[in-house]
Structure 1
Amino acid sequence: MLVVAFEGWNDAGEAATGAAKLLVERLGLIEVSAVDPELYFDYQFTRPTISVGDDGVRRLEWPGAAIMGPGGEASDDDDRVTGPGAENLHVLIGAEPARSWKGFAAELIDAALAADIECIVLLGAMLADAPHTRPLAVFASSENPEVRSALGVERSSYEGPVGILSVIADQAERGGIPTVSLWASVPHYVHNAPSPKAVLALLGKVEELTGLSIPRGSLEVDAKAWEAGVDALAADDDEMAGYITQLEQARDAVDAPEASGEAIAQEFERYLRRRGEEPGGRADGRGDGPR
């Protein structure tokens, strides 16, 4: 299995790359294949960074993308990823390229085929109307009918602009590698990254669909601290606190056991009216069609 995550447009709250980096660390993965960054990146858009290593030497780090595979030293037994296929798990992590997306995706899928990858899990995260006080939802989808049947996931109905994850998924399916995409919802009103709670949500969904067991380390403590920090901000901002309450009520209505389609629609209409909008229209009441 290959787990894929990219920085940038697909990575709200650094949740996707946070989950991928944790897997790389726990599994002790090493680079087995990488793209030439000169071909795909605009350094004025995604700039190289400089950092000081443990040896005190300053080094440039260039944006890129690499497949990480087995060969390094894994974590101690208590922190090791276990479960079906854990010993052959690969991770693709990198920055979203600036150009030549077709060639970029084709090169990476060729490398995946060379590494005998049999399935791909793509991780993404998006800003959404999600209350930070509730479990963060993860939407799972696949364009592959066999994957949908086996895992009980849906086919995405989204239409519009896409990121590199969608291009990778399309190339993989064309190359005969089945894929599933996992997208975490990150509260849009929380501007500080990373979001450890969203990382936890993605890892939990990966476990659910694959049967892997992924030790969390300090993530659960970090997630509680993150949530407490947002609570503190909301306590000093009445408008933010009121908005969060609205999101909580809408979420609880959807999650309630007795929630029906009609009940959910009615709750959504009440939510819009509290914001001064008309359902299916604008705030001034002039309908402009379905959203």
Structure 2
Amino acid sequence: MDYLQITERPGLRNPAWIGAFAGFTDAQEGATRAIRYLVHHLHATKFASIDSEEFYDFTSVRPIVYNNAQGQRVIRWPTNDFYYWSDPAGVRDLILFLGSEPSLRWRTYIGLLQRVMAPYEMDAVITLGSLLAAAPHTRDAPISGIVSREELKARLPGIQLTESSYQGPVGINTIFVEACKERGLGHINIWGHAAHYVERLPNYKVAAALVRQVNATFGLNLPMEPIALQASAFETEATKMVAASVELSTYVKRLEQQFDGELAAQQEQQAQGPTVPELPRVFAEEIDRLLKGKEPDEGPSKN
């Protein structure tokens, strides 16, 4: 059985790949919500998908049942869908991928992604991720990134990028990165940092920050107001939650002071010369912690 279902082979010009995986690298759904927003507002066309049957342990990644607009009961299985967008200016088209980290057969799964990519000339791919961090929900979600090659840093001016030196257990995103390297493709992983103490989902502040970055990078001229309103509503609800706890309120104020202090120091450094800013220590540590499968080790007691 061929688990890759291709309904169209669009002719794309110099396409860029932008994708996200639900699961390990999608804290508070920040990354996948960003991809959904891009797909919707670009009116992207679905052209391929991966059948979920052989790649998931459905006792761990359970299907979801819901009522659709017609009141019918529908079962939604884990999805892996590919979309394309044709640039009206004819400069660079996009392939948008919205997937779910598989439970099984990772190498076979990655092979299917490569089959979708194979007909197109791409020199780099971008994946979006979201991680839990010691970041205040009252500020714009910080953005950072990891690149596989030094020269890729110039692709995203203004964003803080580092080269990965991590060693240890990994998610499907890292397996995808290594597969891209084997094909000679560079890789950029853009991370949104989500307030780890917030339980409300999804985190539209992280999604908005990621969309804003993609919007600016590719000059998409996407409307930002809809997701900005969602981000504002998210912040309002999170603030209500924080206000109910004196301990949590104190903790968030401390995070705000730390965040504002590091931001001011960074802006001062940038004003002194056109150097590429270093990734703030606290956020570099959060990326390393995510890859090691650990939670932020600071914060108020949950007891």
The answer to whether TM tops 0.5 is yes
Per the TM alignment, residue 83 of structure 1 is displaced from its structure 2 partner at its CA by 7.2
1:114 aligns with 2:119: yes
Supply the distance in 2 between the matched residues of 1:191 and 1:56 (Cα, whole angstroms): 29
Work out whether residues 83 and 213 of structure 1, in 8 Å CA contact, stay in contact via their aligned partners in 2.
no
Aligned mates of 1:254, 1:130 — CA distance in 2: 12
CA distance change for structure 1 residues 201 and 70 in 2, over 3 Å: closer, same or farther?
A: closer
Tell me which amino acid in the other structure corresponds to 1:204: R
Counterpart among 215, 231, 237 of residue 239 in structure 2: 231
CA distance in 2, matches of 1:15, 1:82: 28
Look up the match of 1:277.
none
1:58 and 2:73 aligned: yes
Give the letter aligned to residue 229 of structure 1: E
Aligned 1:34-183 pairs, distance under 5 A: 34-70=49-85, 85=91, 88-151=93-156, 153-183=161-191
Offset of 1:36 from its aligned partner? 2.7
Partner of 1:29: 44
More deviation, 6-15/24-33: 24-33
Q: Secondary structure at the match of 1:23?
A: helix
| C-alpha distance in structure 2 between counterparts of 1:194 and 1:85, whole Å | 33
Q: What do residues 151-209 of structure 1 show as CA deviations (whole Å, max 9, x unaligned)?
A: 45321333333221111122112113322100110000001111111111111222333
1:130 match: secondary structure: coil
Contact 1:4 1:122 in 2 (8 A): yes
Post-superposition CA distance 1:65-123 (Å, at most 9, x none):
1212248xxxxxxxxx987756x212111211001112211210221122544432100
CA distance in 2, matches of 1:245, 1:107: 46
Q: If the length of structure 1 is used for normalisation, what is the TM-score?
A: 0.78
Q: Distance in 2 between matches of 1:199 and 1:155?
A: 23
Contact 2:38/2:211, CA 8 A, preserved across alignment: no
8 Å CA contact 1:109, 1:168 repeated in 2: no
2:232 maps to 1:201: no
| AA matched with 1:214 | L
Q: 1:143 to 1:37 in 2, by over 3 A?
A: same
Structure 2 counterpart of 1:105, one-letter code: I
Structure 1 residues 83 and 12, CA, compared in 2 at 3 Å: closer, same or farther?
A: farther
Q: Which residue of structure 2 lines up, in the alignment, with residue 274 of structure 1? A: none
Give the distance between the partners of 1:59 and 1:200, measured in 2 at CA. 29
| Count of paired positions | 254
Paired residues of 2:212 and 2:224 also in contact (CA < 8 A): no
Residue 218 of structure 1 pairs with residue 223 of structure 2: no
Quick one: which amino acid aligns to residue 242 of structure 1?
A: T
Distance 1:85 1:160 in 2: 39
Q: Residue 50 of structure 1: CA displacement?
A: 2.6
Where structure 1 has 5 or more consecutive residues not aligned to the other structure, the ranges are 72-80, 261-267, 269-281, 284-291
- Give me the whole-angstrom Cα distance separating, in 2, the residues matched to 1:123 and 1:90: 13
CA contact (8 A) 1:148 1:155 kept: no
> What are the Cα deviations for residues 256-275 of structure 1, in whole angstroms up to 9, with x where unaligned?
24878xxxxxxx9xxxxxxx
The residue aligned with 1:275 is none
Distance 1:121 1:150, change over 3 A: closer
TM-score scaled by length of structure 2: 0.75
Residue pair 2:42, 2:222 contacting (<8 A) in 1 also: no
CA distance in 1, matches of 2:67, 2:120: 33
In 2, distance between residues paired with 1:243 and 1:148? Answer: 34
Structure 2 CA distance for aligned equivalents of residues 214 and 158 of structure 1 = 34
Give the secondary structure class of the aligned counterpart of 2:53: helix
Amino acid at match of 1:231: T
Q: 1:117 to 1:51 in 2, by over 3 A?
A: farther
Distance 1:55 1:115, change over 3 A: farther
Aligned partners of 1:185, 1:25: CA distance in 2, in Å?
23
- Once residues 63 and 216 of structure 1 are traced to their aligned partners in structure 2, the CA distance between those partners, rounded to angstroms, is 28
The 3 A distance-change label for structure 1 pair 85 and 14 is: farther
Post-superposition offset of 1:139: 0.8
